[in-house]
Amino acid sequence: ITDLKAAMAAKIPKEQERLRELRKECGPKALGACTVEQAIGGMRGIPAMLWETSLLDPEEGIRFRGHTIPELEEKLPSAKEGGEPIPEGLLWLLMTGEMPTVDQAKAVTELLRERSKVPDHVFKVLRDLHPNTHPMTQLCQAVLALQVDSKFAADYRAGIHKSKYWEPVFEDSINLIAKLPTIAAAIYRNTYKGGELIEADPKLDWAANLSHMMGYDDEGCLEMMRLYQTIHADHEGGNVSAHATHLVGSALSDPYLSFTAGMTGLAGPLHGLANQEVLRWLNEVRAEVGDNVTKEQMKEFVWATLKSGKVVPGFGHAVLRKTDPRYTCQAGFAARNMPDYPLYKLVALLYDVVPDILIQTGKVKNPWPNVDAHSGVLLQYYGITEENFYTVLFGVSRALGVLSQG
Ligand code: AMX
């Protein structure tokens, strides 16, 4: 079976039954206590949400349907022999719980291609925005403009039975995921390249097409984008973008409305915008001391940042207590593809310097780097230098996780 919806239809009645049983048998059982600190800290550490697509272990990091990131790199289908995983395979895994075959992943590529056309009125909305509108705000506006075509909203109005909600939610989610690369590329081209858009290439897969439509066709860049879009997809349910999407979805707001809520959260500097902030911060270091930064100069810079009441972006995490495996995965890609790149070396130097200093503050619970410490370096290397755009790329990927959970 290579049809994603048919694979879901075969599973969903059983899953609905499993949930009913779980509720019946274990409903009154307590999962744990809740402390005052946890309540003040925004529910940190309280096991209070069902999130089937991924599980975040503080020591080990994220597992997608039980698979670690290195396992995904090994097992998910790739576009090139032995190359990086394609996110279409991850989408199959997240939605069905099963590792896809090559044919199943290819069928998802086709499904997304068939539905990728973005209506003209959405481009018009983007063109009419104030030229200084942040790319993340543009992304939210474009997704909201697409909402007029929500199948779930229409079916709900027509009185659909609740056991069938998943079908129009699936249709909306696939339609939205299919259109996101074109929307993201249009935001990029409008904001930084004079508004000249590039057509999708029907031979390319979903993530590679995003790179192509932005104007980057280097084979290495296509591979980087496939990996990037795979590893940013999901991080359990407690982070701001996932939680906000889920929360708004619980009001039966359709996938367009719910996903927009997630994206307004991802746009915050302590969450997804941190990838932009890391680059900005690194550029400040380079402007002050040049490219050959010594360890001592770097230490001084980190302390100056902390003393001025700011956070060191790209470090720390609400749940993780070790180096983020998404950081390690990107560092591995950099080591394979850009070992002599000065910015890569600068980020490696940060790894040497920052954790010790954060430990010395005596209050940071996780001094290790997170996903955002490394992603900007990969993008810069291939020429995508406009850091204000980076969170949009994160957002496109995040759609795979939060909409699968929906
Ligand atoms: N630099 C400086 N101070 C930090 C810090 C960092 N990287 N990480 C945590 N701290 C500080 C907190 O601000 C807090 O200080 P306060 O008591 O004076 O308010 C104290 O250490 C304790 O915080 P914590 O329990 O360790 O972290 P948290 O769960 O409250 O917050 C996070 C987690 C990610 C918001 C925080 O580590 C941070 O601000 N990091 C920098 C921004 C960043 O990289 N965000 C991206 C995270 C990944 C993602 O969502 N994409």
CATH number where 392 lies: 1.10.580.10
Output the pLDDT for position 290. Answer: 84
- The residue whose CA is least distant from atom 18 of ligand 1 is 363
For residue 26, pLDDT over 80 is answered with yes
Q: 294 lies in a domain? A: yes
Query: Averaged over 14-39, what is the pLDDT?
Result: 94
Do residue 350 and residue 225 come from a single domain? no
Substitution candidate for ligand 1 out of 136, 239, 311 with most atoms within 8 A of CB: 311
- What pLDDT is stored for residue 292 in this prediction? 86
Burial (CB count within 10 angstroms: exposed 0-12, middle 13-18, buried 19+), residue 131: exposed
List of long-range contacts for 110-113, beta carbons under 8 Å, 24+ apart: 111/4, 111/174, 111/178, 112/88, 112/174, 112/177, 112/178, 112/206, 113/178, 113/200, 113/202, 113/206
Residue 330 DSSP class: H
Tell whether pTM > 0.80. Answer: yes
Q: What is the dihedral of CA 244, 403, 181, 231, to 10 degrees?
A: 90
Which amino acid type is present at position 203?
A: K
Within a domain: residue 83?
no
Ligand 1 centroid to residue 207 C-alpha, Å: 30
Beta-bridge mates of residue 113:
none
From 242, 184, 203, select the one nearest 64 (Cα to Cα): 242
Q: Whats the size of the chain, residue-wise?
A: 406
At 55 the pLDDT is: 95
Atom of ligand 1 nearest to the CA of 240: 50
Q: What is the pLDDT of residue 335?
A: 97
Predicted local distance difference test score (pLDDT) of residue 291 = 80
**Same domain (yes/no): 246, 301:** no
Query: Does residue 262 sit within a domain?
Result: yes
For residues 392 and 42, give the distance between their C-alpha atoms in angstroms, rounded to a whole number. 25
Let me know whether 392 and 254 are in one domain.
Answer: yes
Whether 119 and 253 map to the same domain: the answer is: yes
Give residue 341's pLDDT band: very low, low, confident or very high (50, 70, 90): very high
| Nearest CA owner, ligand 1 atom 48 | 271
Residue 273 in tokens: 């915008």
Q: Are residues 216 and 259 in the same domain?
A: yes
Give the CATH number, domain containing residue 339: 1.10.230.10
Position 64 scores a pLDDT of 98
Domain match, 355 and 284 both: yes
Which residue matches tokens 């994603």? 4
- Residue 105 CA to residue 88 CA, distance in Å, equals 5
The pLDDT tens digits of the residues spanning 44-100 come to 888 888 999 999 999 999 999 999 999 999 999 999 999 999 999 999 999 999 999
Q: Residue 107's pLDDT band (boundaries 50, 70, 90)?
A: very high
CA-CA distance, 56 to 79, in Å (whole number)? 28
Range of the domain at 232: 113-268+387-405
Nearest to 259 by CA among 120, 147, 375: 147
If you average pLDDT over every residue of the chain, what do you get? 96
Sign of the dihedral defined by the CA atoms of residues 357, 358, 359, 361, in that order: positive
Q: pLDDT for 112-167, tens place per residue?
A: 999 999 999 999 999 999 999 999 999 999 999 999 999 999 999 999 999 999 99
Per the listing, tokens 């040497």 go with 352
* 269 Cα–ligand 1 center, Å: 11
Looking at the 3D structure of the chain, how many domains does it have?
A: 2
Say yes or no: 240 and 297 in one domain. no
What residue's CA is closest to ligand 1, atom 39? 270
Q: If you measure from the C-alpha of residue 5 to the centroid of ligand 1, how many angstroms do you get, rounded to a whole number?
A: 40
Ligand 1: residue of 43, 271, 315, 357 to mutate (most ligand atoms within 8 A of CB) is 315
Ligand 1, atom 31, residue with closest C-alpha: 318
pLDDT, tens digit, for every residue of 324-340?
A: 999 999 999 999 999 99
The helix or strand, by DSSP H or E, that contains position 64, with its residue range, turns out to be strand 61-64
Instruction: Please give the Cα distance from 316 to 134 (Å, whole number).
Output: 25
Residues 129 and 183 in one domain: yes
Between CA 263 and CA 286 the distance in angstroms is 30
Tell me phi and psi for residue 194, to 5 degrees: 75, 10
- Residue 272 alpha carbon, nearest atom of ligand 1: 51
CA 57 / ligand 1 centre spacing (Å): 18
ipTM of this complex > 0.90?
yes
237 domain-assigned: yes
Where do we find the tokens 């995490």?
317
Rounded to whole angstroms, the Cα distance separating 86 from 227 reads 7
Residue 56 lies in a domain: no
Percent of the chain with pLDDT over 90: 95
- Is the pLDDT assigned to residue 2 strictly greater than 80? yes
- Is the per-residue pLDDT at 42 higher than 90? no
Q: Given this model, what pLDDT does residue 294 score?
A: 93
- Give 360-390 pLDDT, tens digit per residue: 999 999 999 999 999 999 999 999 999 999 9
Q: In the predicted model, what is the mean pLDDT of residues 222-235?
A: 98
What does the pLDDT look like over 255-292, one tens digit per residue? 999 999 999 999 999 999 999 999 999 999 989 888 88
Q: Which of 310, 321, 364 to mutate to test the pocket of ligand 1 (most atoms within 8 A of CB)?
A: 364
Q: How far is CA 13 from the centre of its chain?
A: 29
Decide if 19 is inside a domain. Answer: no
Which tokens go with 185? 């590329």
Ligand 1 center–CA 365 separation, angstroms:
8
311 C-alpha to ligand 1 centroid (Å): 7
DSSP code of residue 100: P
Q: Ligand 1 centre and the CA of 102: distance in Å?
A: 40
Same domain, yes or no: 244 and 125: yes
Same domain, 176 and 309: no
Q: What is the pLDDT of residue 242?
A: 97
Residue 216 pLDDT grade (very low, low, confident, very high; cuts 50, 70, 90): very high
Q: For residue 324, give the ligand 1 atom closest to its CA.
A: 48
Q: Closest ligand 1 atom, CA of 319?
A: 29
Is residue 11 assigned to a domain?
Answer: no
Helices within 64-165 (DSSP H only): 69-75, 87-96, 102-114, 120-128, 135-146, 151-157
Same domain, 117 and 227: yes
Minimal-distance CA residue to ligand 1 atom 29: 318
**Best residue among 62, 240, 243, 363 to mutate for probing ligand 1, ranked by most atoms within 8 Å of CB:** 363
Q: Please indicate, yes or no, whether residues 260 and 278 belong to a single structural domain of this protein.
A: no
* Ligand 1 environment, Cβ below 6 A: 44, 239, 270-272, 274, 306, 311-318, 358, 363-366, 370-372
Kindly list the catalytic residues: 271, 317, 372
Report the distance separating Cα 168 and Cα 153, nearest Å: 8
- CB 391 within 8 Å of CB 272: yes
| DSSP-based helix, strand, coil % in the chain, nearest 5 | 65, 5, 35
- Looking at the predicted structure, is the pLDDT value of residue 406 above 80? no
Residue 168 has what pLDDT? 98
Asked whether residue 221 is assigned to any structural domain, the reply reads: yes
Residue 43 has pLDDT above 90, yes or no: no
